[in-house]
Amino acid sequence: MKINGKTAEFIRIGAAALVFLAMGLAFSGFSFCAAIWLPKLQFAPALLASAAAFSAGALFAVSVTALLTFCFGRFYCAFFCPLGILQDVIAYLSRREGKGLPNCRRIRYGIAGVAVGMVLAGWSLPFLLLDPYSNFGRIAGSFTIGGLLPLLVIAFLAVWKKRIYCTAICPVGTVLGLLARHGLFQLHLTEQCVKCGQCVKVCPSGCIDPAAGTIDNERCVRCLSCLAVFMP
């Protein structure tokens, strides 16, 4: 069976919706199968757990995500991260069209460098303030100012420029982006591109540049939305 772009996008949205629901329920205190094991697959807590004390399960989760990202790109950001999925929901509701954005490498690497450096120096608060898992937990798990503040920041950024948090701020996205940048299977524009710009409008990462004929795989979150335009 041949899967076209729209079907692929539909499958991605369905899978992301299930993860989002399960993670939301997990942070709201429900314990069922997915709510127990899904949080264990989240990259940042697994990475911190493997760094703090040897944990075979956490190391396995980090290694699998890193390997799959190196092979196929930042699919984790489209399928498994609840904060990324929340940004998609907010951006969809805002109905804003995407635009091409520059790759702010210096900002991204600087933020990740400071956050990771402070963790290594024994102060994890800056990292936890930026960590997508912790932030989603604050948003989903409490109806207090501690949950409202990150929600407002994420909502503002998502309405402003869709996944700008994922492509310029999130330290987890920066690490995964480095793996994807040098990864095995990359997305490219073909010579058939007539530079109509339709794919740019649906791209949440602003990483398609038809004029240059490129897709920036470091920032692409593999949401598959452009496939629905390329191969409807």
**Smallest gap, in angstroms, from Cβ of residue 66 to ligand SF4?**
13
**Smallest gap, in angstroms, from Cβ of residue 2 to ligand SF4?**
19
Strand extents, DSSP E, the chain: 208-209, 214-215
- For residue 205, the tally of other CB atoms under 10 A from its CB is 31
Residue number with CB closer to ligand SF4 (47 or 54) = 47
Greatest pairwise CA separation for the chain in angstroms: 53
**Smallest gap, in angstroms, from Cβ of residue 142 to ligand SF4?**
19
Residue number with CB closer to ligand SF4 (31 or 203) = 203
**Smallest gap, in angstroms, from Cβ of residue 105 to ligand SF4?**
14
* Chain contacts with ligand SF4 (rule: CB under 6 A): 77, 81, 83-84, 132, 165-166, 170, 172-173, 187, 189, 193-199, 202-205, 207-208, 210, 215, 220-226, 229-230
User: Cα separation of 81 and 199, whole Å?
Assistant: 23
Strand extents, DSSP E, 8-133: none
**Smallest gap, in angstroms, from Cβ of residue 92 to ligand SF4?**
13
Residue number with CB closer to ligand SF4 (179 or 199) = 199
Query: What is the rounded (10 degree) CA torsion for 28, 32, 33, 36?
Result: 40
Residue number with CB closer to ligand SF4 (31 or 115) = 115
User: Cα separation of 221 and 180, whole Å?
Assistant: 9
**Smallest gap, in angstroms, from Cβ of residue 151 to ligand SF4?**
13
Beta carbons of 177 and 74 less than 8 angstroms apart: yes
Phi-psi region of 122 (alpha: psi -120 to 50; beta: other; left: phi over 0): left
User: Cα separation of 178 and 69, whole Å?
Assistant: 9
Residue number with CB closer to ligand SF4 (119 or 226) = 226
Residue number with CB closer to ligand SF4 (41 or 208) = 208
